[in-house]
Amino acid sequence: MDPKRGRESGTPAGLASPGIITNAIRRDTAYTRLSRACYRHSPSWQDSRVRRVVMHVDLDAFYASVEQLRRPELRGKPVIVGGTGVAGERGVVAAASYEARPFGVRSAMPLSRARRLCPHGIFVPCDFPAYREASKSVFAILDRYSPVIEPIALDEAYLDLTGEEALMGPPDAVARQLRDEVKAHCGLDLSIGVAGCKLVAKVASELRKPRGLVVVPAGDEAAFLAPLPLGKLPGCGPATVVKLERFGVRTIGDLAALPDPFLGELFGQYGRALGAHSRGIDPSPVLPPGDPKSISREVTFDRDVTDAGKVRETALALLQDVGQSLRSHRLSARTIVLKIRYQPFDTQSRQATLPYPTDRDDQLADALRQLLETQLVPSRPIRLIGAGVSNLEAGATQLSLLETRSSRLAMLDEQLDQLRDRYGDHVIARGATARPHQKDVRRDDLDALR
């Protein structure tokens, strides 16, 4: 038996037992402390004379892989993660195992279509507490490789390795070591792209999945991108591809050959950025996330709803989650936002400005109730409901001149937050409707990684 991999039991090192994911031990090495200090005081990432090295890491079929790690009976079978796992529900595929992909199942595909393509697939609900724990284990390892990490999702991030070669070694060797360490400690496969900018690194990481590694040498960015189809370029969506193909543009190299003025006429300012990207030019830095500009939650009903009471209760339950996020960021909101999608696909968004910023559940809920009373059309079937806040301000809640903050209500918010943090989001909630099941990644999930 290989003691590092646990091959006899099928359990990778770092798993206490099959189906239990444990956090990789985070070692705050002298290198990590030194590199963080050097990075904070060095402007090298802004210096064009220093060759940038950016790594894009992407966990392969992450949600499905976590499910297969937790449940050995799923290994080697077509696993499709999405929604709550209930037949006939709406929603999209969050992840599909590599055993499901030969049937044509892909992420972001409607669940109904995935069931038709893969009728014998095993559909499982999203379990974000498990995915968050697995992601934390991986990010604990990433933290030892770079002082600057930009999480994009629970399974995806950029690392800035600029100026670290003398300490860490060549980028390709560093990438192999990282990929092997994540596999050994977390049991998950990682695909990695390394290049001189974020855009090219991302394209590189997606070329040889699973467990791929592609390094694009400095100066070869345009040549690397040139033979690839247009759809491989980030930001070049289906509508853009169709428009470019009318002019005989099929590859990224074809796009790079077009003059910027022509692209500007076709797509405006975005066209010039598209031209630069097609030549491998992307000066955007690797940056940790800042404070959110807005916070929102929404849910798509499994069946259209005509019960106005259910719609109101669901919206208020979503708003409780928004309020908890608001307080965790130590922010207050001036604007409340209501989103309604009627059948077939008529989406309306309405907002109201509060007299003063607040983070309190009862005050946010009062404002949302007023919006629901004036904007909700009970006779129309509703497909989706959402609630959110914007115009966020830092600092403590500012009070109305006619009101002092109730310490009892403020304390209640804090105690409910503590219970949810300790026992899970669904342990307790105000009102009769439980908080909706989380079906997709949220900004709070990424903040928890940093």
Show which residues are catalytic.
156
To 10 degrees, the CA torsion angle through 392, 394, 399, 405?
110
